[in-house]
Structure 1
Amino acid sequence: MRKSLATPLVALTLTACAAAGPNYRPPANSAATGAAANGRFHSAVGPGVDGSAPLPDHWWRLYNDPRLDGLVEQALAANTDLRVADANLLRAQAVLRQAEAHRTITTAVDGGVALSRPSGTGATLPGTVGYDFGLSASYPLDLNGRIKRAIEAGHADVEATAAARDFVRVSVAAATANAYAQVCSANYLLGVNHRVVALQHDTLTATQRLFRGGRGTAFDVSRARTAMQTSEAALPAFEGQRQTALYLLATLLGKAPADYPQEVADCAALPTLNQPLPTGDGAALIRRRPDIRQAERTIAGDTARVGVATADLYPQVSIGGSLGLTGPLKNLGSGTAFGFSVGPLLSWSFPNRSVVRAQIAQADAQVQADLASFDGTVLQALRQTETALETYRRDAQTADALASGSGSAALSAGQAGKLFRFGRGDFLSLLDAQRSYASAEVASAAARTQLLTDQISIFLALGGGW
């Protein structure tokens, strides 16, 4: 009878020896393996983009701006979101160590002393003082691979958490560069508007002089003053944008807003790339983006958890032994008080197989969801990159057109000023020409600052910086 029971038990145990559940393989037929996803970006065209050059790890150094380099380094060392991500990684590593610890010998010590008295004894009898001390140890054989799969899941979770931390690094580097760019852009736009105001102030001064000499009217003076005051009204907005960006920059550096870097406040020149923007191709993007790596490692971890659930179909076997001393306290140390045991230990929730199969089905479904999420992450990364590149290309065309328009408007404003001063042009034509110049100059400057923001958006979409 014992032989007949042991035979199927051995068969079940040997069936599970190779580790229960499927072995993980990277997604074969996914969005990441298609030819369209691995080629050059469709929008990586134009004089400002180099689709054949790989993206460097520290892309912000392409601007050759030491202040920007220092700010990004400070942010990567002190940003609070990164500190949270680092703590999450430490936690995942601790969970992995816990899973690995299940492979080691487990020991337990228990004992106690008690006073017992049979119910039939007299009330004045003290009873018998007894003791019970024991030491037990067990070592899991892991014949069903449950521990192995749990460790595999733990390793994948650590790698997924590390990828999530890297994605935070990418975001922090881009956010820091963008905040610095906003400070410089606000100061740059402030300078452009100050030049417009200065031009309009000169016009107002000349108009007042002509009015006093009898060659102008009070209406001309009021119109000139209105034009200048309208331009002056835009100055506080740029000052506010600069201060807001400085507060954001301080927060990214892990500091209080009031403790913003004073040396950055006067940045007035836009950071400029001295080369076409390097993008690489889709294959490099898929390898680089941390969120894609995180999604892939999530599949690996949940695939291993299918094995953890499957292992519960089979018995868990370990080798155990125990030593014990028990009996009346007066016999402590005698041979009759000592006992020991050694042998295999078996744990198997055989009647609950339907519950286990439901858990396996849940784990399988989670893997299918992970596969879909992986495809979505890849497609989202490709879409973000193509969109950022297309936006940059169109904005570059707009900036070129506005720069040409600004040059023409400046020429017209200069000509109108000369004609007015020599009495060959009317004041309304001068004001109209200056108004057009002011509008074109401000629009051209805003377009240039937008190009800088677009570049940083591309670097963020490409996933560089970790």
Structure 2
Amino acid sequence: MRNLMKLSAIALLVASVSACVVGPDYQSPTKVADIHVGSTYQSADKLQSWWQAFDDVALNELISEALAQNRTLAQAQANVERAYAVFRDANNDLLPKGSLDAGYQASENATVSSADNEVVSRGYTTGGNLSWDLDLFGKIRRAAEAAQANAQQAEMLWQDAQLQLISQVASSYGDYRGAQLRLVVAEQNLHNLEQSRGIVLARLEAGMASELELAQIDVQLHQVQAAVPGYRTALLTAEATLSALLAKQPGQLKITTAPHLPGLKQPVALVDGENYLRYRADVAVAERALAASTAQIGVATADLYPSLSVRGFLGFVSGPGLNLNGDSQSWFVAPTLSWQAADLGSVKARIRQADASTQMALAQFEQQVFTALNEMQLSLNSYNLSREQQLSTERQWQASNKALNIVRDRYKAGTVGFLALLDAEREQLRARDQLAVLQQQSFNRLVAIYRSFGGAIAL
């Protein structure tokens, strides 16, 4: 009973000493310059649903399948599990470790004494071994703190991987639909040029047009035909990208709905007073990296002080007879105190390394904040300008289409010359193809808004 009380007193003493944790306590930066950052990362509610605002069945199916099948996302998720396992392992180092062992040993001539010549000794050992590294100055706790920050960082990277995957699928879908749309436009333009060529040919046969006019309209026709392989290449490229993102083999991707580029039924809206930086996983990842680096300062600083470990055994040690009784019972306790007194210069160098790494992590965090803010603003401005350009081009195409119909009728009636028809054809072709390009651009820039705002834009 007296021994038990002594052990309890020693345990309380050790626990009180172990309450000391060296190194700086981490505080998440809430401001960078005059920018309010906030301290808590939050995955946006719309992260897993924002694309549904497009009401596009094919896009919904592609993203759902990508989230289930993409191997890079699976890798990121496995990395989260690995990082938390590392944290649990580091955190368990605070507790005593033990094992149950049973061993047998045989030896001959165990000493140089002549009395031991040709003497064979045998013995059995069985019992429990215990080891405990007492965390007097918080080295283990700081290491666990760093491991936890790394695990949280891995989880945020997984969230960011989902956002990036969804954005990549949506952008590639926009590229796919854009290439399809340009092919449709090219086919429509070829049909229109064939109509104009038929008019020129009829006038040529009637002696009212020249071979030059027919050759010039053929130039337009072949120019459009020459652009078609480029559109098909863009279509194949987008298909290959989507197939890779969905973990499909070549030729397995099927998108059966009619070619079109989805759009929103209402404009993008920002919530007044909302701090969208908290939805940026990359900012949160940089902040967790800073937390881990700060904890490593404590890990390095703890080596300035002594460390205490305890090793012990409780069991039985017997000879060949394997008699497990009170006479063969054995135990030992071996506390060890160690101190790197002769290598304090190296310890201080490691502290300076950890401090410099923390300063680097802080600079990286601050830079990430500025990068995120500018990306968000740029995405909004780019989308708004793209929409303005698209609306102007739509009006231009409508006007050029009307002008072409008028010129074609007048050329057929012989009231305008061939050059007027040629110019009208060229302008209509250019405006319609440019409109298809801008429709794709507007869609992709809209996707960029959601990506830069962490999927937190309200619709």
- Common topology (TM > 0.5): yes
In structure 1, stretches of 5+ residues that fail to align are: 1-9, 39-53
Q: Determine the structure 2 residue equivalent to 1:34.
A: 35
Establish whether residue 169 from structure 1 lines up as the match of residue 162 from structure 2.
yes
Whether the 8 Å contact between 1:55 and 1:280 is mirrored in structure 2 is no
8 Å Cα contact 2:393/2:434 also seen in 1: yes
- Matched residue type, 1:128: V
**1:83 is the counterpart of 2:74:** yes
The residue that corresponds to 2:275 in the other structure is: 284
**Structure 2 residue aligned with 1:394, among 385, 410, 416?**
385
Q: Which residue of the partner structure matches residue 362 of structure 1?
A: 353
Give 1:144-223 correspondences, 5 Å limit: 144-223=137-216
CA–CA distance in 2 between the matches of 1:116 and 1:333?
24
Find the residue that maps to 2:275 and give its secondary structure: helix
Alpha-carbon distance in 2 for matches of 1:328, 1:126 = 17
Structure 2: distance between partners of 1:111 and 1:255: 55
Structure 1 CA distance for aligned equivalents of residues 307 and 343 of structure 2: 14
Instruction: Tell me, yes or no, if structure 1 residue 225 matches structure 2 residue 218.
Output: yes
CA displacement 1:62-95 (0-9 Å, x = unmatched):
1111221121111111112112111211211111
CA distance in 1 between counterparts of 2:451 and 2:45 reads 11
Deviation at 1:371, TM superposition (A): 0.7
| CA–CA distance in structure 2, aligned partners of residues 201 and 440 of structure 1 | 18
Quick check: 1:446 aligned with 2:447? Answer: no
1:403-457 deviation digits (Å, cap 9, x = unpaired): 2222222222122112112121112211121111111221122122211111111
Deviations 1:161-213 (A, max 9, x none): 11111111111100000111111111111112211111110011122122222
Q: Shift of the alpha carbon at 1:160?
A: 0.4
How many angstroms does 1:215 deviate by?
2.3
Report which stretch shifted further, 270-279 or 126-135: 126-135
Residue of structure 2 in register with 1:17 after alignment? 19
Per-residue deviation, residues 189-246 of structure 1 (Å, max 9, x unmatched)? 1112211111110011122122222222222222222222211221221122112111
Shift of 1:12: 12
8 Å CA contact 2:19, 2:136 repeated in 1: yes
Q: Check conservation: 1:68, 1:177, Cα contact below 8 A.
A: yes
Kept in 2, the 8 Å contact 1:184–1:267? The answer is no
Determine the structure 2 residue equivalent to 1:131: 123
Q: Name the structure 1 match of 2:230.
A: 237
Q: What is the deviation of 1:140?
A: 4.0
Query: Which sections of structure 2, spanning at least 5 residues, go unmatched?
Result: 1-11, 39-43
Alpha-carbon distance between aligned partners in 2 of 1:394 and 1:408, rounded to the nearest angstrom: 21
Give the 3-state SS of the residue equivalent to 1:259 in structure 2. Answer: coil
Map residues 355-434 of structure 1 onto 2, 5 A cutoff: 355-434=346-425
Moved more, 108-117 or 142-151: 108-117
Match of 1:4 in 2: none
Q: 2:96 — aligned with what?
A: 105
1:101 and 1:15 mapped to 2: Cα distance? 19
Matched residues in 1 for 2:171 and 2:63: separation? 10
Matched-pair contact (CA < 8 Å) for 1:174–1:460: yes
Cα pair distance change 1:129/1:330, threshold 3 Å: farther
Q: Could you tell me the TM-score, scaled by structure 2's length?
A: 0.87
SS at 1:277's partner residue?
coil
> Are residues 1:263 and 2:263 paired?
no
Mapping of residues 345-356 of structure 1, within 5 Å: 345-356=336-347
- Are positions 1:250 and 2:243 aligned together? yes
Contact 1:114 1:131 in 2 (8 A): yes
Q: Is the 8 A contact 2:279 2:456 kept in 1?
A: no
Amino acid paired to 1:56 = K
Letter aligned with residue 226 of structure 1: V
Does residue 116 (structure 1) correspond to residue 118 (structure 2)? The answer is no
Identity among equivalent positions (%) equals 27
Task: For 2:315 and 2:341, locate their aligned partners in 1 and report how far apart those are by CA, in whole Å.
Answer: 31
Alignment of 1:334-349 (within 5 A): 337-342=328-333, 344-349=335-340
The alignment status of 1:322 with 2:313, answered yes or no, reads yes
How far residue 335 of structure 1 moved from its aligned partner, in angstroms, is 5.6
- Name the counterpart of 2:5: none
CA deviation digits over 1:331-362, x for unaligned, max 9? 85576654322475434333333322222221
**1:394 Cα shift?**
2.2
Q: Which amino acid aligns with 1:185?
A: G
User: 2:146–2:296: 8 Å Cα contact kept in structure 1?
Assistant: yes
Does the residue aligned with 1:322 lie in a helix, a strand or coil? Answer: strand
Task: Answer yes or no: is the 8 Å Cα contact 2:14–2:134 preserved in 1.
Answer: no
3-state DSSP of counterpart to 2:304? coil
Looking at structure 2, the residues matched to 55 and 155 of structure 1 have their Cα atoms a distance apart, in angstroms, of 25
